[in-house]
Each structure stands twice: as structure tokens, then as C-alpha cells.
Structure 1
């Protein structure tokens, strides 16, 4: 039996065995080739939006090798405050340090082998779990520190000795927080100048669309300009107002209009589902309008932009889906970035198990 096949139990990802699904080698450059033609941009084959094997490939090539946006610095203003974020299959958190800096760590629990929810763990869907904070559970809200430091609720993330947890690079990026699981990652691009969080609040909205479809829908625009890890476009809101759009690979979309910026952080919660963490930013020193009015307008704009992504996901999920669907400039750029990272990832050569019982070692 191939280990890449999803099962009800815990099956470890094995990059050395390759990433295959629906009769295709998902890591082969040929899998991407037809979708990267600028003369006829179209979506990747349906397997890229509906198979666990491609999600495993993205974990190996994208989520563990890129600078990820996870939230606003204003969400964790006080020492000890903790912001959870699941990156691919890895449960992480960032905590505000006593001196004001940021400390990133892997969560205490990473096993993902919970047998209480066998239809969710390791089948491409995050599960709501009140017990642990592993890489297969859905993140809760920000945890504020208590008067005497970490609260009991933080134990599932910190354990008894948080200084012994595997570290994660965490950086303030303007008003936002970005992390990288790759210790050799190059520095992230410089953030936009002058942006500040309008409040420490973020709101969440979830849509039935793969994260790649969500990103391209949110970044609908034209006249693209490329930077090393970002794409900049011009466009219009549903109301007709002019907007400037920036996509920072892989999971941050900034939409600037009406003198403010809506920051949308994308986080896959299932193969065909994406959670959007949304924050509102403004220009430092600029006068801002009513915050609740702004929220209402931006959430409506996001819903309008996400409608095509939801429709595309429904079409790609059908077993008979084989007709190539078109994509926009942002989708073409995103697919090129993913293909480049798949090509650049280190080859998996170590096939030995991380753990083995005495019986398994022949002792």
C-alpha cells in the first residue's frame, strides 16, 4: 500500500516517495507546464486543488520555505501574549517577549495522530480541538497573558519549558508579523512604508475554496508589476473605486483604497477551504473614518471577490472536471512561484524513520 494514500489513521508524509495522485506526478515540471503559458493562462490541473498529496507537496515546498504572514503585531501588545498559527502541517505560535520583541516557536504538540477524530486528522482538514495545539487542529484566538505571566490555556502551546521548543524565525513586518520555518530563508522584502494597524482587532471569514483560488480572486487586477516575492496590480473595488493590490507570496494580499488598506492573510483549513484573517491598516498620522463602517465595506468587498473562487472550487471538485479553467495575472504569478519552489526544494534522501521501537530495530 502506498503511504501517500490518505487514511483514517496517522500516515507520515514521505517526500522521498514522491507526491502522486490521480495518476500524475505532482512534482514533475510537466504537471505545471501547460498552466504557465502567459499567452493562455489557466489553472493547474484539478489535482492541485483537491488532493492531499498536493497539500503535502505545498507543505514541503511552500509553507516551510517562505515568509508567512500570520497576524498583526497589535494583536499581541503585552509581554506574554500569544498568537497561534498553523503553517501547513505545523502548529506554531509567536509570543511577545518581555523586552517587546517577538519569539516564534513550534507548539509543544506536533504529533497529529489523535484517534478521536480519525476522519479529520491527516485527511486535509483541520479539526477543532480543545485539548491540544498540534499541526492538524484549527487555531484558536489570540491568548492574552495573565497578570502573573502565561495562563493555563497556554500550556498546550508552551509546555513546561518553552525555551526548549524548536524555534521559528519571527519578525515584525511593518504593522504585521511574519514567520519562517526555514533557518536559511533569505530576508523578506521590505514592508510598505508608513502603514499602521487601525486597531488590534482582526476578523475571520472562511470560504469553500482552495487557498490558491482565494489568493488569485482577492488579487483580481491588471497591469502587474513584479518584485522578487511580490506582485503589484491596479484594479477596482466592487463599488468602482480605484484600488492598488499587492500579493506577498504566499499568503498575504493587501488591497489599498479609500485611504486605507485591507490586509488579508490566507490560511488553508482544508483542501477546498481557506480561512481569511483580516486586518485594517491606515497611514501613520492620517485621519481615519469610522472603523465599523470600514469593516462593513471591506467584508462586503472580500465576499464579492471570493465568489468566483468558491465557484471554481466547486467546478474543480467534480470527478469529471477536466476542462482547463482560465486564471488571472495573480493566479499565473502564484502558480509560477509554486512551480519554482517545487523545483528548488532539496531532494529528500533520508528514508530512515525518526523513531523506532526496539522490536523495529531488531534488538
Structure 2
């Protein structure tokens, strides 16, 4: 069977067989237990930041079962504009409808039109694929509609009959966009009031750190309050200015300071790399600030916050990585939420693949 799977070009993700790596059962509550002590919180064992099996567990427990922040509504202002976002192993998009609403869908091709996932795409790293928009390739930029509607470049997302694509729940969340792969999911908690996008532009920055390390580094601060899916903290910027921080599970961090709010949306692009989609928000009706100065200040703040995450990833990636590193309020909260969602997953009972080549079935 091992030979057949390898020759088919992929090793299938089989939740029914469990998620194991480095001699550990990654879904066992014992894997998380040592990291969840409020008196001495520590990072998860190194496998959580470097093993493909843990990324697949997160795909099963987190990315397919949570409300994800993917961008700003102002990025797709016109009918038929399209915003791509890859959630875990799933290529998705949100499109503006003719009546101003939103529709979310899985992309036309999840695996590049291949009969099986190519081996080069099954490594935990998103590839730059010029052929299609699948769950193993990097997202492109927003696709604006043409004067006559959807453009030819949108075909790789929409196909010929987009109404037949698997739906994704999509909704405006204040000035932001959030999606959930479960189109029948309960609504997310209420967004912050009174915020508007200062610009329809988002910028991107990528860092060599697992998304979990990135999230807790961005949300560095002292715990202030907690809601069902968010943690609120107080802290200071690198410049010493006071800041209010909100982490919304799993991939949104809002940092408020200087009369502005920096919205940082996290997206894993590899086991040890995270892409940040960054937007600038502010109070409705506020006069437009000097945007370039604001961008420069916030990008510098993000780089400063991310430096410890990059250092931690380098340490955890070493084969001789030893005792887990300590973490703080945001890290403890994030790990508690991941552990809870792993426990709450429905049990996998069907072991029959939905699709496979003859070799992939071991025939």
C-alpha cells in the first residue's frame, strides 16, 4: 500500500486513521495537557509547529469549523469583484453580488485538475501555481470585475456554472469579511462598533513563523476580558504608546492605538510561514489620516511584534528542540481553543475516499 500511495503522488489525509507524528498522537488530550496550565503556560510540543500531520489536524478541527477573517469589504466594492482565500487545504473565494451582497464558494478545482494531489503540492507549503486556484496554491490578489461582469481570469475560480459550486458562508463583519466552510454555521460574535475601512487597500507581509506563533506574538499584552471567541488585552506598542488588542479565533488580531485600528488576518502558507493580510480601520466619519505614514508605522509595529515568533519558530524547527518555551495570555488562550476544537470534532467513521486513482486505492 505504501508503494501504491507513493506512486499515485500523494498520501491521503485520513482522519479516521488519526493524526500522528514524531511518535505522538497529536489529537490525544495528553498532547495538549502540559501546555494549558494557567500557572505556567507553555508552547505546544514542537510537532505542533513543524509536522504536516498537525496542519491536517488543524484543517479538520479549526480551519473548516471556524469563522475566518479574509479581507475588507472595501476590497471588492463592485458587483462580481472576487476575493480569493485559501483556508487550510481548501481553495475558496468570496464574490460581490449584483445586489451588493456576498456569496462564498469553493473554487472550481481544488486540486489543479489533477487526478490526485501532486507530491510537490503535498508538503505543507503553498505553491505558486499558474494553472489554477486550488487548496495547495497561493492566492492571487483581488480580481476586479470587468465592464461586462466576470473576467476570463475568474474562470479558474468560478468555472462555467458557479451556482453549482459548494457554498461557503460569507458575511460582512463590520468593515471586514468573514467566512465559514459550514454554510449553516451559527453567526460569529458581534463586530466592534463604529469602525470603517480607512482605505480599500490591504497589504501583505510574510514571516517565517507558524501561524500559532504569529497570532500570539501579534496579540502580545495583558489579559483584560474574554468573550466566547475572542480575547481582549491591553498592551503597548514598540513606541511605548498604549494599545487595546483583540484576538478573534482563529486568525484575526485587531490592534487599536493612535485613533486607528490595524486589522491583521493570518493565513498559513507553510508549516513554518504565515502570510499576514493587513487592513487599516478607523472611527466612522474620521478625517482621512496620512495613509503612508500610518502604513509605515503599523508595518514597523507588526515587524517588531513578529520578531519573537520568528525566533521561536527557528528554535522549534531544530531536530534537537527540547523543552517547550513559555507563552503568555494570548498563547494560552489560543492553545485552549485549539484543544477544545480538537476534542469537539465529529468522529470520523467513513474510511472510503471520495476520489482516488486506481493506484491510490492500492489496486
What is the RMSD computed on CA atoms of the aligned residues?
2.4
Indicate if the aligned counterparts of 1:9 and 1:113 stay in contact, CA closer than 8 A: no
- Can you list the C-alpha shifts for 1:93-132, whole angstroms capped at 9, x where unaligned? 0000000000000000012585999564011000011110
Q: After superposition, what is the alpha-carbon deviation per residue over 1:257-291, rounded to whole angstroms, capped at 9, x for unaligned?
A: 00000000000000000000000001001234201
- After superposition, give the CA deviation of every residue in 1:36-59 in whole Å (9 maximum; x if it has no partner): 000001100000000000000000
Shift of 1:19: 0.1
SS of equivalent to 2:223:
strand
* TM-score with structure 1 setting the length: 0.95
Report how far residue 7 of structure 1 moved: 9.4
Instruction: Answer yes or no: is the 8 Å Cα contact 1:8–1:121 preserved in 2.
Output: no
State how 1:270-309 maps to structure 2 within 5 Å: 270-309=270-309
Q: Which runs of 4+ in 1 moved over 4 A?
A: 5-8, 112-119, 356-361
Residue 12 of structure 1 corresponds to 12
Deviations, residues 152-173 of structure 1 (Å, cap 9, x unaligned): 1000000000000000000000
Could you tell me which runs of 5 or more consecutive residues in structure 1 were left unpaired when the two chains were aligned: none
Give distance in 2, aligned partners of 1:40 and 1:128. 41
Q: How many residues are treated as equivalent by the alignment?
A: 362
Of the structure 1 ranges 14-23 and 283-292, higher mean CA displacement relative to structure 2 is found in 283-292
Moved more, 51-60 or 112-121: 112-121
- The reply to whether residue 149 of structure 1 matches residue 144 of structure 2 is no
| 1:352 CA displacement | 1.3
Q: 2:351 maps to what in 1?
A: 351
The CA distance in 2 between the partners of 1:129 and 1:47, in whole Å, is: 28
Q: 3-state SS of the aligned residue for 1:44?
A: coil
What does residue 106 of structure 1 align with?
A: 106
Q: Distance in 2 between matches of 1:342 and 1:6?
A: 28
- Partner Cα separation in structure 2 for residue 216 and residue 135 of structure 1: 25
Q: Distance in 2 between matches of 1:294 and 1:304?
A: 15
CA distance in 2, matches of 1:279, 1:116: 36
Write the mapping of 1:40-59 to structure 2, written as runs, cut at 5 A: 40-59=40-59
Does structure 2 retain, via aligned residues, the 8 Å contact 1:207–1:273? yes
- Match in the other structure for 2:162: 162
Q: Deviations over 1:301-340 (max 9, x none)?
A: 0000000000000000000002110111000000000000
Matches of 1:249 and 1:44, distance apart in 2: 17
